[in-house]
Copies of this chain bind each other. A is one copy, B any other.
Amino acid sequence: MKIIQKEISISSKPRGFHLITNEILNRVPEIKDIKKGIAHIFIKHTSASLTINENADPTVRSDMEKYFNICVPEEADYFEHTLEGTDDMTSHIKATIIGNSIIVPIKNGFFNFGTWQGIYLCEHRNYSSNRNLVITIIGE
């Protein structure tokens, strides 16, 4: 059994939900050598998040963005942490609801996903920079 850890930077993306499965597979070719294991994918930020959801229809991602904007409304008047704008505190809350890391099983060199699963980077800020991920693979 071995452990591999690397950091990758995902280029800045517009606010919303983005499929990044292929980008991760391309940037972490070490996954191909793992017969069974897990990959922990961690985002080093508190205003963007990671989730696994439907990988085919882009309206799932746009509906997600619409839903979470209603679920965590920027016009709420009780937030104090708004120094960087109305999307500041709401981004932190979305990150906690959605989560800052995922774990995917690996089988025979690939993510052991269901047919319709993919990895989303969820960008909650209006203007973001690159997002850094730490990927830790444990397996054999």
Contacts and interface: CB of A to CB of B under 8 A. Distances in A.
Contacts of A89: 60, 63, 67
A3 B3 contact: no
Nearest to A97: B97
Interface of A is mostly: mixed
Number of copies: 3
Contacts of A70: 76, 78
A84 to B, nearest CB: 11
Contacts of A105: 5, 40, 42, 134, 136
Interface in A90-122: 92-93, 95-105, 107, 112-114, 116-117, 120
Interface of A: 1-3, 5, 36-38, 40, 42-46, 51-54, 57, 59-60, 62-64, 66-67, 70-72, 76, 78-81, 89, 92-93, 95-105, 107, 112-114, 116-117, 120, 132, 134, 136, 138-140
